[in-house]
Structure 1
Amino acid sequence: MRAVGLIVEYNPFHNGHLYHLRQSVKITDAEAVVAVMSGNFLQRGEPAMWDKWTRTRMALAGGCDLVIELPCAYATQAAEWFAYGAVSLLEATGVVDAFCFGTESGQLAPLLRAADIAAEEPPRFRELLMGGLGSGASYPVAYSRAVQAYLGEQGAEDMSRFPFDQPNHTLGLHYLIALKRLKGTMTPYTIAREKAQYHQSDVTDSSIASATAIRKLLLESRSLQGISRYVPSSTSSILSERLDAGVPAMGWEQYEKPLFRMLLTQDRHRLAEFHEITEGLEHRILNALPELESWSFESLLGALKTRRYTRTKLQRALLSILLGHAKEDFTRDKLAGGVRYIRVLGFTDKGRELLKDMRRQASLPVLMSAARPPGSYRYLELDVRASNAYMLGVPGASLQRDLYRDYRDAPIML
């Protein structure tokens, strides 16, 4: 059974995702879809609007046949490690023949050429990258500029003008770098994003809007009426159930109290031990706390943000503190070691057939729950903790039903 892999967050699953899924199936001639999906916390350092089980239901209802979890250790990282974790998982299933991602241009050739260079990181490329970082540019910007400059020096002037710094181009480049470093066998494809770009916060089409715009509409209206045109009916139905149960769209405001408790009870030495706390950020945080206008997440971000400390960088840093992610668990060596397991979140009847093949062909153990994980599955333990932290912010969450759900619940079957 030919399968295509998708790397997703589905926060929430919308019409643009549906278009991407269907086009991916079409251009790869796939018979099944495998999605590797972020858990309860996302790549930009944010809580997902709805938990991973709710979003798994959306994915399955929207056309995915098998959903596996991208561990929080990779799901909340910058492009390099987010991509590495996701691509390594798809490759490890042993059943995914191709993977398809969206880009602003729909052009694969420039990204493949750049990946050939960046995967090896020649000394001159590294020099250009470090120079960009030294000038105060953020890592994504410095990386993109280094790629463009290096290509220009190599005589590829046409490619040096390619917009590698656009969000989906950046992610796509890192997917391809990961594939090369892993010596993967999957065939990569890309399709152009249609009608709404990655960070586009306004709506310019009658049926397709970015996830950013949909989240904005949802938070403004506090109901599903404002987004009904931009999501499949299955998504509306699933979200309606959650809203009727008293579960709102989640955001950082639900986690302000536990975050500030952590910040106010740590000294600078302890803060410096958390992942993403670099370049003296611990001092900036502690100096900002007494000067805040209000005890809100947005007020804290406003006090901390600089050219170097972007919103996304700060969100990831503060999330690491909230979740207790220590630097020692996120070294380059440990992250490069990859995920040690494949955690299944849900499947359809067709996905059940894929699972049978995976059990024979996967290069990693296939887990149907987190119950009694071997001690070597450190990132699975961190996922359980992250799920518990997430559920503590959900109104009406209960100890019996929601905490340690990873240990109890079987994958969702549709």
Structure 2
Amino acid sequence: MNVLGIIAEYNPFHYGHAYQIKTLKKQTNADYVIIAMSGNFVQRGAPALLEKYTRAHMALKGGADLVLELPVLYASASAEYFAKGGVSLLHNTGVVTHLGFGTENDNLSILQKISDILLKNPLAFQEHLQQELKNGLSFPAARAKALETVFSVTESDDATEVNHILASPNNILAIEYLKALASLSSSIQPVPLLRKGKGYHDTEMSEGFCSASAIRKHLHDLNTDSADRNLEHSTMPEYSFELLTQYPHTLLFEDDFSQLVHYKLLTESPDALATYADSSPELANRMYRARHSFTSWSQFCELLKTKNTTYTRISRLLLHLILNIKSTDYGFLKTDTLTPYFKLLGFRKSAAPLLSSFKETGKAPLITNISDAENQLSADARSLLQLDITASDLYHLALTAKGNQPPLNDYRHPLVIIP
């Protein structure tokens, strides 16, 4: 049995995602597709546009057979931890045979070479990286420059491609997926797929293949009441567009959580701020000094970003503030137990054989009802799950603050099940 695994956010699910599932399933001759999907918060350090069960429903309508929630500890993390969590989740199912992912460069050979250097971390690369950091480059820019220098010596034919490859978030994630597979000694086969249409960061709306960033910006710029969700059908499959237009809640964006962030900034010391994931003593001091200039989440990110501190890193840090995720939280689980449970969001009834096989081969408990998790999980696993529950509660808090009826919490929300 071939089972395709995909790590995704579907924020929201559009034509590019449907194309990816269909094409990769055909390429891998997969019998089933499992999605490891971010919950209510996503990797760029922001709330998801739509809550997780609606997005899982979109994925199932779009060809997925089973959707698992990627724990928020990893879903809200940098590319390295996001990839580690997602790959570990799929690897631990024991049934996934292929990992599919989108890239702007499907040359698996060069992606693998970059991955090997980053994983082995040779002395020459370390020295070049430290030198570029001393020169004032941000970590991503310094890493790209160091890799290009190492490649110019060992892989001269590929050296000119390195900077171009590392300029794309999808390529960076692809490299991190390869690193994670290697660190787990996983037998899962990587399958890159060239991205179609607009780039990851492109915010221009257009017909057909359009980036999720463009769709979010379009919706943000509109009045987000349900009557005004006039997103063009050409950007999303009909089923996805229908779920969006019928969504019973307000769409959420970063600034809807501004008051929570401001409260944390006003009540934490610089030393405490430095303990959060993606923080540092220098950044914590800057945040503390600027706290009275805070007007919104997005404004504060713009205020604090510098040449070597990106907007996305600051946004993730602000998210970690309100979720209470500390740097030390990424070290308490061993590599083979990064994902000590599988939280099911939904599945197809026709995928019953996959679910049965999964229950037999999975290296962790499958959670279909959180009330039963207390007896299924270790103390560390319960702590990880509690972060997911708290994240959903805060997401629901923002919805109710905007006048929405309180959504069902994680204890009461039913699984999404389609034929």
TM (norm. structure 2) is 0.91
2:88, 2:336 within 8 Å by CA — same for their partners in 1? no
- How far the C-alpha of 1:68 sits from its partner, in A, is 0.7
Q: Distance in 1 between matches of 2:232 and 2:413?
A: 30
- 1:409 matched to 2:410: no
1:213 maps to what in 2? 214
Q: Distance in 2 between matches of 1:386 and 1:17?
A: 25
1:257 maps to what in 2? 259
2:105, 2:165 within 8 Å by CA — same for their partners in 1? no
1:164 maps to what in 2? 165
Q: Between the two proteins, what is the percent identity of the paired residues?
A: 33
1:78 maps to what in 2? 78
1:224, 1:236 within 8 Å by CA — same for their partners in 2? no
1:199 maps to what in 2? 201
1:142 maps to what in 2? 142
Give structure 2 stretches of 5+ with no counterpart.
Answer: none
Matches within 5 A, 1:3-402: 3-154=3-154, 156-162=155-161, 163-165=164-166, 166-203=168-205, 205-222=206-223, 223-242=228-247, 245=248, 247-292=249-294, 295-331=295-331, 337-371=337-371, 372-373=373-374, 374=377, 375-377=379-381, 378-394=383-399, 395-397=402-404, 401-402=407-408
Task: Report SS of the residue matched to 1:13.
Answer: coil
Q: Distance in 2 between matches of 1:111 and 1:164?
A: 8
Give structure 1 stretches of 5+ with no counterpart.
Answer: none
How many residues align? The count is 404
2:97, 2:188 within 8 Å by CA — same for their partners in 1? yes
Q: Distance in 2 between matches of 1:8 and 1:22?
A: 15
- How far the C-alpha of 1:228 sits from its partner, in A, is 2.0
Taking a change above 3 Å as real, the CA distance of residues 7 and 290 of structure 1, as seen in their structure-2 partners, is same
Task: Report SS of the residue matched to 1:346.
Answer: strand
Taking a change above 3 Å as real, the CA distance of residues 143 and 11 of structure 1, as seen in their structure-2 partners, is same
- How far the C-alpha of 1:96 sits from its partner, in A, is 0.9
215-224 vs 45-54, which deviates more? 215-224
- How far the C-alpha of 1:137 sits from its partner, in A, is 2.5
- How far the C-alpha of 1:289 sits from its partner, in A, is 2.2
User: After superposition, what is the alpha-carbon deviation per residue over 1:96-132, rounded to whole angstroms, capped at 9, x for unaligned?
Assistant: 1101111112221211122223222222222223333
Q: Distance in 1 between matches of 2:290 and 2:150?
A: 39
User: After superposition, what is the alpha-carbon deviation per residue over 1:114-172, rounded to whole angstroms, capped at 9, x for unaligned?
Assistant: 22232222222222233333333233322333322222221x11212222312211111
Q: Distance in 2 between matches of 1:88 and 1:367?
A: 17
Task: Report SS of the residue matched to 1:255.
Answer: helix
Task: Report SS of the residue matched to 1:406.
Answer: coil
Task: Report SS of the residue matched to 1:69.
Answer: strand
Letter in 1 for 2:230: Q
User: After superposition, what is the alpha-carbon deviation per residue over 1:272-300, rounded to whole angstroms, capped at 9, x for unaligned?
Assistant: 222222142121112112235xx222322
1:218, 1:227 within 8 Å by CA — same for their partners in 2? no
2:184, 2:336 within 8 Å by CA — same for their partners in 1? no
User: After superposition, what is the alpha-carbon deviation per residue over 1:45-72, rounded to whole angstroms, capped at 9, x for unaligned?
Assistant: 0110011111111111111111011111
Q: Distance in 2 between matches of 1:408 and 1:182?
A: 35
Q: Distance in 1 between matches of 2:334 and 2:182?
A: 19
Task: Report SS of the residue matched to 1:344.
Answer: strand
277-286 vs 11-20, which deviates more? 277-286
Q: Distance in 2 between matches of 1:210 and 1:314?
A: 23
Q: Distance in 2 between matches of 1:311 and 1:107?
A: 29
User: After superposition, what is the alpha-carbon deviation per residue over 1:291-329, rounded to whole angstroms, capped at 9, x for unaligned?
Assistant: 35xx22232222211112210010011111111112331
Q: Distance in 2 between matches of 1:386 and 1:186?
A: 30
CA RMSD of aligned residues (A): 1.8
Q: Distance in 2 between matches of 1:187 and 1:297?
A: 40
Q: Distance in 2 between matches of 1:149 and 1:337?
A: 35
User: After superposition, what is the alpha-carbon deviation per residue over 1:184-222, rounded to whole angstroms, capped at 9, x for unaligned?
Assistant: 01111111111111111113x521100011111112233
Q: Distance in 2 between matches of 1:57 and 1:31?
A: 20
Taking a change above 3 Å as real, the CA distance of residues 235 and 359 of structure 1, as seen in their structure-2 partners, is same
